[in-house]
Homo-oligomer: A and B are copies of this chain.
Amino acid sequence: MKKATIKDVAQLAKVSISTVSNALNGVNVVKPQTKARILSAAHQLNYSPNLMGKQLRSGQTNMIGVFTDSVAGPYFYQLIETISQAAAAKNYGLSVTLANNHTALMNSLLGNTCDGAIIFDHRVDDRDLEHLAGQEIPAVMLDRPVSGDHLSSIVFDSFNESYLATQYLLQLGHQRIGYLAGYDNNRDNHERFTGFQRAILSAGLSLEDMVVLKGLFEEQAAYDAVKTYLATETAQPVTAFLAGNDLSAIGAIKAIQAAGHQVPKDYSVIGFDDIEIASYFDPTLTTIRNPIAKQGQLAVTELIRLLTTKQWGQQQVLPGDLKIRASTGKR
């Protein structure tokens, strides 16, 4: 049995398709008796409306689209989980699109498959955003601050978080700190690094005394970098590491332990993100926790605001907080 259309229902109920549409969509003009007949026919045929037809005609999808290049890692599922709940509360469906390449991404973004988009995808550049805005598709960016018509962003205050984390290490008495950098072109990495530098300078210390290693946001890369560093004897070695994220912090700790030292006795280590592992790892990881849930909720609220009021978008910057655990201690 092929999928039944509204025509089939109309035929079976001996009625026109417009009446079926009205009956099914609760437009209160159809006689109870006919409505019952239609409902029964629809049920009998297992009818469910074709969403393409529906959305094409009505011009709206009642869907929020999340566009991302990867769902890997705890950050994403926490984020998506809250977005899902917030969207449901506002009676929007949620569809997460994982596009493999840039054209597929833009086609799906510009293809009117959702009323508005939440974007966490580094492949979307400024020109793409212009297209979006030009076609009046409201979007909320989560990976970098933007603003413009139909465009908002909700990002974390990476600079300040890093500044505070560095201050905390300095306060514990660490004078020489190693920074485990992430990807070069990454906004968070850049912000965190400048936050780190600013805190050092504000404390009257010299950047010359600090060490920058390549952690690349990965456990293995961080492990290798720290291992190599520890192997080269220095007159005045670093006593703490500020890692670009939790994974590289874990890599650093493993390298430190592998070299026969202890955390936090010999070296303090601090990460970013507060991923799930952070509180299960031994030692539990001091880290900066981002308000992921809040970001997700705000993204939905803001998108719906753009959708309904058609106002100019806005930037929002969320502060994170330092979660002190067992991987940091006094020098």
Q: Is A93 an interface residue (CB 8 A)?
A: yes
Q: Could you give, for residues 268-312 of chain A, a 1 whenever the CB lies within 8 Å of some chain B CB and a 0 otherwise?
A: 000000001100111000000000000000000000000000000
Q: Is the CB of A76 closer than 8 A to any CB of chain B? A: yes
Contacting residues, chain B, for A2 (C-beta < 8 A): 135-136
Q: How far is the CA of A228 from the CA of B99 in the complex (A)?
A: 49
Q: Could you mark each residue 70-111 of chain A with 1 if its beta carbon is under 8 Å from any beta carbon of chain B, else 0?
A: 111110111011001000100001111111100010111011
Q: How far is the CB of A131 from chain B (nearest CB, A)?
A: 5
Q: How far is the CA of A46 from the CA of B128 in the complex (A)?
A: 10
Q: Tell me whether A201 is interfacial, beta carbon within 8 Å.
A: no
User: Is the CB of A34 closer than 8 A to any CB of chain B?
Assistant: no
Report the bound CA distance from A53 to B55 in whole Å.
9
Residues of A within 8 A of B (CB): 1-4, 46, 48-56, 70-74, 76-78, 80-81, 84, 88, 93-100, 104, 106-108, 110-113, 131, 134-137, 250, 276-277, 280-282
Q: Contact: A93 with B108, CB < 8 Å?
A: yes
* Residues of chain B with a CB closer than 8 A to A50's CB: 56, 111-112
Select A56's contact among B52, B70, B113, B134, beta carbons within 8 Å: B52
How far, in whole Å, are A74 and B74 apart by their CA atoms in the complex?
7
Asked if A51 and B113 sit within 8 Å, CB to CB, the answer is yes
Q: Contact between A52 and B49 (Cβ–Cβ < 8 Å)? A: no
Of B49, B77, B112, the contact of A51 (CB 8 Å cutoff): B112
Give the contacting residue for A93; candidates B97, B106, B110, B112; CB below 8 A. Answer: B97
Contact across chains for A99 and B108 when beta carbons are under 8 A apart: no
A96: which B residues are within 8 A, CB to CB? 71, 95-98
Q: Which residues from B are CB-within-8-Å of A113? A: 51-52
**Please, how many angstroms separate the alpha-carbon atoms of A124 and B46 in the complex?**
16
Contact (Cβ within 8 A) B71 A111:
no
Taken together as a complex, chains A and B put the C-alpha atoms of A94 and B99 apart, in Å, by 7
